[in-house]
Structure formats: C-alpha cells, structure tokens
A and B are shown apart, each in its own frame.
Chain A
C-alpha cells in the first residue's frame, strides 16, 4: 500500500497551480459571467495543452485516460483557481461517449482531448434540468431515460447564485444513441462528474482557507492580528480539519473508479458530500472572518464564496449522496 500521490502526480498539480496562478483566472471568471467566453476559452486551451481533458479520453481517441486519480488532482487545482466553464460536464461527457464507443465518440472524443470542443452535459435524472454554460459550449448532450441526444439549442440563461455558472434548459435536437448501453454509460458518467465536482470543491475550500488565513494574519483589530483570537483560530482549525479528511475519501473514490470497482458509486458519493460540505463550510468561514469586505462583489473572494454552494449540490446533493452511501 502506498496511499499517497506519487511525485509525478504532485508535480502535475504544482505545474497546473503555477500555470493557473499566472493566468488571472478571476478576470476570466468575471468575463465568463458577463457572457464573454474568449478569456475562458483561452484558459481552456492552456488546460488542454497541459493534458487535463485528455485524462478523461482513452488513448484510442487521442487521449491519455481514463485516469481518475489524475483527474481528481487536476480538478482540485481547477477548483482552487475558480476556473469557469463546463469543465466537469466536458469530462463527464467524455466518460459517457467513451462507454458508448460509437460514431459520436469518434467524432467528439479527440476534440475534447485537444480542447477544441467544450461540451456540456445535462442528466435531469441526476438532479438538475439545466445544462451548465450551454451558450459557450460546442455541444450539449442530454440524457433522458436510455436516450442521448445532442440539443439543438438552449433556452434563455437562468442566472445562478454563482454568476460564472450560466444555466439553461437544453432544447430539441437529434438522438445520438439509445439503448441499455446508454443507461450503464450514464451511471458511469455521473460518477465521473461527481468525482470531478468533489475535487473542485476540495480545491475551492483550500483556496478559501488559504486566503482567509492570509487575511486574518494581516487584519488588525484591538491592536493585534485577528488571527491571534481563539474564536478565529478555532473556526479555521475546523475548516482545515474538514478539508483534510475529505481528501483521502476523494483519492480512494478515484482509485475505486480507476479499478472499476463495484463500490465506486458509494465511495464517490462519500467523497462528494464530504468535500462539498467542507467547501461550503469554508466559504461561510471565509465570509465571516473577512467581515464586511468579504460581503462585496469586488473582492475576488466572492468568486470562490459563490461557487461553494452550487458545487455542493451539483451532480449529487448531500442528501442523495448520503442515501447512496447506505444503499451499498
């Protein structure tokens, strides 16, 4: 047993972290929220060059995957930097197409791997009737029952609590695939989506904690740094605690998916609810400890705070995840 990321995986995380640090992701997220997708698409291309999307695409379709552990590592960094776009949906769509392995797979998977195709995925039975960012996507796949269709268009954008998440109902479109294979492939794809969302939440929570720790060290009240107060320290200690114990669940779930283990659904659900709740609590703590300035739109912190709650609920609400853990 060596239940630790290896040096290559850690280096992958570090290189994504530095690339994204240098990329002004807050500006891309703000533009994305305003409906300007160009900076986000440029970022998308750089992520593709770094191999992020290829992790969800098999070698026969020009990818490197499927590599769930590396995918979890990558999405932790995407969450840490609040990268906008249907990142989760694109890799979940790749997992779906890979399992179907038909003409659509041949058409789309190489495009996903190279970053040329941004794909959104909507599975109403998995919780939400909305597709994320369909207006910026090259394709929107919708799964209903045992049918996958490619939506022709999408309804008007429904503003989200996180403005960088642009939600709309996919409309119309032609059938891409149908049959029992779709059901099995969708179950797998939603697990990949939940895993990637859990990883995003973990990274988001870590970023919120880091920023808040920096802030309470420099913010002075009553003549001392507020980070010296026990009430502040203990909240941050609890934030770290929740994130630290979410991480092994995430990595174990990724391993279960990599092995195709029968218990992967329960493991992914455990990771999803734990990371989602930890990031949500981290957002509450970040807001509270920043005080009024944290409650402003202009501080970049808002980009992270507003994402925490939607990620907690996307691709498996806490209640659905808890039920799944006990269903096994």
Chain B
C-alpha cells in the first residue's frame, strides 16, 4: 500500500502546472452562466484543447492524452489549484462522452467528440420534465418513428446550460406508453438534437442566483436522424444509467476542486479568524479533513479501478459526500467573512478572497442535481447495505 507518484506522474503534474501558470487568465472570466461569460469560457475551452488539456483522459485520436484516472486526478488538482475557469463543456465531457465511449458507434465518436473537446459544440442535458424529476423513468416526452429518424415532442426542464448551448441529449419515450405500468424503464430511447433545430423553443429560467443557467425546452416535431440515436432504440434507460454512474462517480466533481477550496478556506481562517473562536476553528478543520478524505478516497477508487475493480453504487457515496462538503466549505467561509459574507461577488466592497458568495449559492444546488441526495441515500441503503425496497 502506498500513496506514491511515479517520476512520470510527477513530470505530468509539472507539465500541467507550467501550462496552467502560463495560460490561466489573470483576471477571472465573467460568469459562465451569462452570454458574455459563456463565450469567454468557450474560448477558454479552445485554448485548453489547442494544447490537449481539455479532455486529458480521452484517447489521443479524439483530442485527449489517454491519461489514466490517476493522472486525471492530478490534472484536476493542478487545474483548481491554479484557479482556472469553470468548465462550460462539462455536461458533454462528463455525461455524454462516457456514454458515447460505452454505447456509441465509431462514426458517432468521430463526429461528436472532437468538436466537444474543442468547445466548438457545447452540450446541454435534457433529462428532467415538469412531472419527472427524481422519478425520471416516468418521463413523457416522446420520440415518434418517421422516415430516416424520429420526431420529438414534449417538454424538458432544468436543462443545464441550455440557454446558450448548441446541442442537447436526453431520454424520450419511443415505445408503448408504459408510464403507468410496472415497467416504466422500457421503451425509452437516448437521442441527441440541436437546440436551434426547427420546433425547438428554449426558454431560459433564472436560477436562485438570478443567472439564466438552465432552461425549459419545448419540443414540437423536432426531427432527429437515426445517426443521432445512441445505443438501440428502446434501450435508452440502460444507456443513460451508464452516464448517471459516471456523473455520480469520480468525474463530476473531482477532489481537486475541494482540495483547492479547503486551502483557500484555511488561508482565509489564518488571516481573519479570532483564534479564541474554537467553534469556527473546528468547522474549518472538519472541512479540511473532509476534503482530504475525499481526495484519498478518490486515490483508493483509482487504485481499485487500476486493479481491475469497478465503481458502481459507491458513486452515490461520493455524490452525497462532495455535495455536503461543498456547502460546509462555503458556509464556513461566509461565517469567517462576517458582514462581508453576504456581499455578492459583483459588489465593489466584495472581499478580495472572492468567489465565496457565488460559490455558496451554487453549492446549495449540489444536493439536488445529478440525482438528489435522497435518491442517492436510497441507492446506498438498497444496493450497498441490501435493505429492502420500500414505498420511498
């Protein structure tokens, strides 16, 4: 048992650090949830991709470096330590790409992945519907067979990034309507479609932080060619669940993000805290410890995968853990900032430490998206502890 990096891994870390030092913008980009910021972040994706840093774990033929999970973890540590911009392409990279690697065709991979890696095409997700949130399999939007493809009807909502993105992917009911039977997971198909196609109406929704970060999609006879179906028609649930596994696993929120945030929190505490306030000190310590635990747990997960193991329902443990850690980090920072904690990042008087207010609001979404923490706890209890299914 060891926690040692090889000389090659150390060299990889040094190369990433040097590149980031040279390229990370000195002035933070505008929020990626605004039109201006979205464009700036798309440009940043192009910069990353030009030197093959946008998708390090992908094979080289699609713009990656064929990096191991451990190297991906190293890259992410360096990325967040460098204070690099948020990733506007993350829905595509973390959710769609793993599905294409597992269930897509060579043609689809060759057509879709390079433009995703470069930021030329930014992807949005289209899972939830007004009546289908945690109970995703009850979804009602349909894909109807037509010559050479499918016609989409229905409504999707809480579609992250859809206000400014180029294309979307999601699940549609293509078979008999089984929503009221015991088998709602059957007859679903996984499809991709352009957000500027005929019949698509995008209505941005202001988020809790006021930014139009997600949107409602109204779909009225939207044509999707057969080549944009992933996996077999009717098998969409199984195809999508491999994505959900990835989303809840390591890739959605890398430990590097929290390691960096814990470092910033510790620095803030050393600068601002009253040493006699042991209650706050304890919370800082807990956040630091939890960030470390998450990082070590990722190393253990990467070691398990390298040894031929797999990560299944364990990814639900990660989801609950990082989402609660993220809130704890930000709540503690706001408490350290006292009266300045409530100032929006845009405020003239906002603390130079920056980002905590906006980050705090965003952290509150963590226990909701990517499968609510209630659903994750059900999964943990049923699949990892073997408890019987109940009525919820």
Contacts and interface: CB of A to CB of B under 8 A. Distances in A.
Nearest to A270: B289
B347 interface: no
A4 B389 CA distance: 32
B387 A322 contact: no
Interface string A155-179: 0000000000000000000000000
Contact of B293 (A209, A225, A274): A274
B182 to A, nearest CB: 18
B390 A325 contact: no
B365 interface: no
A230 B299 contact: no
Given A3-B303, A233-B381, A322-B282, A227 B388 contact: yes
Nearest to B283: A322
A244 B317 contact: yes
B224 interface: no
A237 B321 CA distance: 11
A233 B289 contact: no
A201 to B, nearest CB: 15
- Which of A4, A217, A225, A323 has the most CB atoms of chain B within a 10 A radius of its CB? A4
B1 A233 contact: no
- Which of B5, B314, B321 has the most CB atoms of chain A within a 10 A radius of its CB? B321
B390 A4 contact: no
Majority secondary structure, B binding face = helix
B276 interface: no
Nearest to B292: A270
B286 interface: yes
Interface stretch (A126-134, A247-255, A307-315): A247-255
A3 B296 contact: yes
B390 A228 contact: yes
B390 A230 contact: yes
Contacts of A2: 1-2, 303, 306-307
A326 B284 contact: yes
Contacts of B304: 4
Interface string A262-301: 0000000010011000000000000000000000000000
Majority secondary structure, A binding face = helix
Nearest to B284: A326
Given A233-B378, A241-B321, A255-B3, A217 B387 contact: yes
B390 A241 contact: no
B386 interface: yes
Which 9 pairs from chain A and chain B are nearest by CB? A228-B390, A233-B381, A248-B296, A322-B285, A237-B380, A237-B377, A227-B387, A245-B293, A3-B299
30 contacts: A4-B300, A4-B304, A225-B387, A228-B387, A228-B388, A233-B387, A236-B381, A237-B320, A237-B377, A237-B384, A240-B385, A241-B320, A241-B321, A244-B314, A245-B297, A245-B317, A245-B321, A246-B293, A252-B292, A255-B1, A270-B288, A273-B285, A318-B282, A321-B285, A322-B281, A322-B282, A323-B281, A325-B285, A326-B266, A326-B284
Interface of A: 1-6, 9, 69, 209, 213, 216-217, 224-225, 227-230, 232-234, 236-238, 240-241, 244-246, 248-249, 251-252, 255, 270, 273-274, 318-319, 321-323, 325-326
